[in-house]
Every structure is written in structure tokens, then in C-alpha cells.
Chains A and B, each alone.
Chain A
């Protein structure tokens, strides 16, 4: 429970993680509320990726506790995280360029028809295409033809497909690693719009980003990591200078609101 009385979808308390002598995370407290976008910022090597990978089950925390929807949980591998309802979209998107949107969305969880079709593992393309259309429409993602190969699409569209795909498992928390890196202006706007859409639909969202302009556009809260420690936490009303100071360590006290 926190000040405004709702249970955070995710809460980390005193989480530390070392790789040999290198302390990648030390005593990190981190919370995400439902319907909240938290931006995770920091310099290279600040521990952003380690934090996300610890939540996603790729790394296991050395100490500290992780609670999901108020329950303390032990996430030891990616399957645990997915089963809890934590979806992660990595920077490489993990899409198959030679498959179309429908095929990518349902990759690894293809739907089969009933009866003999199920025995033969026959794909139910019509059902999958319908669900794809509904999902994309719901997210206000415009893709002219869901039967086009993902490889022929723009970076923004690919990012949108990857995010849409992460939602098929009905997660509570969505983590996005650099979703706007290498995107043009219009495509960035599309992806940011989609992130706002995720908030409206009640997902807790964690966004790693280097681009403070993007961060200020979508984030409800900005969480700064520096050398594996929390170096500050800001609301939407903070100035860009304050955040930069926290990232570079110039502000000293971390600029807590």
C-alpha cells in the first residue's frame, strides 16, 4: 500500500544484484502502480537493464524482495515472470521478419481449430486474424494489412507489433526497453501514443529510455538510476535540468520531491 491507497502492481524493496565484484544494483526500491507509466532513466551502466532483467526473471536478485500485486514472489526465470503477468519487449523486438503480423503475434501460442483440426495441429488463421484486428483496433494501431510481412514495415510499426504481441498474454505490467530508439519523429509519436493507450487500459508500464523529451511526454514518474542506486525520483512537473543533474550525479542529494 502506498500513500494514495492502491496496491502497486510491482514493488521492489532493497533489491541488490552483483556480478562478481561489480555491484550492478544496490538496495533499490522501485514501485509501479496500475495505470501508471514509470520511466527508468540513467547513464550507460547505471543498472537500468539489470533492473528490468531482474524483474523479467533473466537475472535473480541477490537480496531484497519483489512483490507483485501485493504478494511477495520469487522470480527465478523468464517463465515465472510471464506467468505472473510481466511482459517485456526488448530492444531487438524478437520478431520474425519473414512472418506477417498475425503470425508474429501468435508465434508460440498459435490457435488451432476444433475436433480433427486440433489433432492435426491445424492453424485457425481466421480466428487469429480476427483477434489480431480487434487487438490492434483496441490499441488504435493502424496497420493497413495484417497479412504483410513484418520485415517490410517501418520501425515504428514493428515496435507497435512487438508491444501488441506482449499484451496477448494478458499481462499486468509491460516493460519496454528503448521503445523509441532509432525511430523517426512520426513513428516515435505513434509509439508514445500507444504507451499512453497502455496506461488508459490500466497496465503498469516501465519504459527505459535515453530520450528525455520522450520521457517527459509519457511518464507519470521518472525514476533515475545512477551506479546501481536510486539517484532520484521526479514527477511530471520536474524540469529536464533536474533529471539530467540526477543522471550525471551533479545534484548530489537526488532531488527527491
Chain B
């Protein structure tokens, strides 16, 4: 809802009330397909219109974390209608310590699979534990195994399920997967649509992560609230498939229901031949359908934004939510001169981050470096990081520098290419796959009070540990910062 949708009314005593303008309701009633990719896929999944823009929708896949919900449902005798939709990869609560397969204590934290795992598998559930070659972070392995395909509607528990939208599908996270398992359906309010057109020339050393941080910095952490967001424009189109995942991963960090990129040849080539991709028998038919699933030339979005990447520097956050991103040569803002609406949160951010208003962010010492998470822990990310650190050493003031591959398959591939040797020689720890320090109910977190430069997606208060300060940046900016022991400009390493 935009400002012009409101009529402001005084209700006395200084209270101002803004009620939606009647045109807003008229438009709401007409919220229907207007030719966007989102509309087309949404409409194909409608089972029932529940009124008021709420719909019952068919779910094609549910790629989730812990199987504990399944256990609970079965203990309660709840009938599960669609076990085949559910792919279970316990990632959040698994230690990424290389000793996790042998150390009994770590096995306990790690092993989300109890004695009943085989029973669950026999019942038709797909459970991939840490010993499974397909195991990894759910949002990495869903696409990596070919489970996430264009045109699908995919929902799961974890909020970063929006990552899969980069395949040209609708996906979101929310904690109502029990109902998906019971019915194969989900109820959702039809969101408005927004298109973010990314134009211009991407500067040297910039990655997809820098693009999405720039988008959130410009539009705001709340900007997608109420919207499904399509990322488009020549810069997005030119990105490899893996970069598109990084962009959609942070769609939820602008509070949108989902983020999407239209599928194209880049997508199809990336998907073809993967384990769960459509078989050759159906491939041409599938691709022919997928090619229709893009926004029409005359598609109408509720909101359109353009982000020009020309001249944009590598981005890094200074504060406590993702919109607190500034160019690497930028300075920490001063709350007292910030726009009035931002002031209170900026003050909290300055107090928490311990940074000085007006100080350059470049050169800020870091205690830890984290490379991993569902944002950028795919093979292309690890290759790029390895290029930066090859033949160099992690600075002595860095207490912990970790590389955590996104999946067992990624780890195997990286080791086959010798990337692990490069990281280890530089003084990084080379970990097992999992969510790790991005969110730590798994024993991995940043030590109390420390500053970590992280390629993950959240820098909120306490996100990575007690009183820990997170600076979000791209994988390569993190790698360069590990070498310098302070927030570094990756462009000096290219």
C-alpha cells in the first residue's frame, strides 16, 4: 500500500488516522493476473478463491529442515496425505565440525536422525541426513539436486526458501508445513507485485551479493512487505544461475513474500541432467512450458523500481539490519543527521555496533570471518574466494576464519579441485556442510562480543552470537578481509 492510498483523518487529541482510500479497495478487488510471471504461476496453482484476495493453492514441493515435525504429527496420529512432496534435510541444527561423524558428543548435536529414520523413509519420506551424499543446506541442495524447477510452487518452514525463486518459481517459508503435509495445499494472501530492474554496468569485483545489498540499501528492509518481487533487467539476466540464487535468497531481507528471476537458457542448462530434474522423456515439453512463464511485455506491476549498478562499489553493512549497507569507501552514518524516521534505529545500531559515526568502514578490524550459508556457499563462490586467498595468509588478528561449503556435493567438488588445500594453506578452517554460524542452534557461533565479516544474510542484534557484530558482505570481500584482518576492498586483489 502506498502513501497515496491513504486518506488522513484527524480523530482528535492529536491522533491522526489514515484509512485506506476507497480506490485502494477497488484495486484490491481487481487484484488478478496482469501478465506477470508471478501471476501466471500463482494462477496455475489456485484450488479455491477464499475471498478477500486469499487463496487455497496447490503445493508442488516442500523442502524443509528437521524431521521432528513429522515425528510429532505421527505421534499425534495425524494423517499425512502427501509424504512424497516432502524433502527433509536437517541443516540448522547440525555441527559443521569435521569431527562430527566420529566425536560422540558432536554426533549427538549433529545427528538429527534417530532410530526411526529408516521407518520414516519406508513411509515414503525423503530424509537426507549428514551422511547422505546429497546432504547440505536445504536451499543449496534443493536446486542442486534438481528438485526446484521452473513453474513450481514450493513452500517450506525456513524463511530463506525464497532462494529457490531464482529457478523461476514461487517459493516462500513459513511455519505451516504441517498443513502442507496433511493436505498438499497452503492458504496465502495474494501479494502485490513488484519488479526491480537492475541496469547499468556491474563494476569489477562485484558479485550478486553486492547487487542485492545495494537493492536493499536503496529500497529498505521493509520495502518488499506485501509484495512478490521479480528481479529483472540486463544485469540480472547476465548473472549465472548461482548468482541469481544469492539475489533471491535476500528477498526475505526486504520482507517480501518471495523473490523470483524468470527462467531462461541459463536456468535450463544449469538444471538439465541433475538428479531430480525432469527426465529426457519430458525435457522438451517441460522447457516449452517454462518458456511461457515470464512477465509479458505489457505486464503491470503494482510497483516498479530501477537500480543502476554503474559506479557502485562493493557493499558492506555497518549496522543491525540489511538496509544498513554502504559502499566500501563509505562512512558510518551519524544518527543525529539521519532522516528523523531512521534516527532511533540508527542510534541503537551505533550503540550495538560500537562503530564511530563518520568513520570509514574500510579498515575496521574484524575478529572472525565466515564464508558459508545459503547465500553464497556454492562451488562458484568457493572458487572465487579461493582465487583471492591463494598464496596468502589470514591475518594474525583474525581468531576464526571459516569456509563452510553449502552441501556435501559442493564440498566434494571443491576438494576435487583442490580448493580446500588453498583455504587450509591460508589458515582457514575447512568445515563440513551446514548452516553453521549464520544461525547457531548447532554449536557454531561467533564468540561473544566479536566482530565478524560474514557472507550470510542477517546482521540483526545477536544473530551470530551474544553481542556479536556482523558486517554482511560478498564472499570475496570476506575473503579479502580475512587476509587484511580488517574490512577490505576486494578490488585490490583482482
Q: Is chain B a partner of chain A in the same complex?
A: no
- Using a CB–CB cutoff of 8 Å, the interface residues on chain A facing chain B are none
- Using a CB–CB cutoff of 8 Å, the interface residues on chain B facing chain A are none
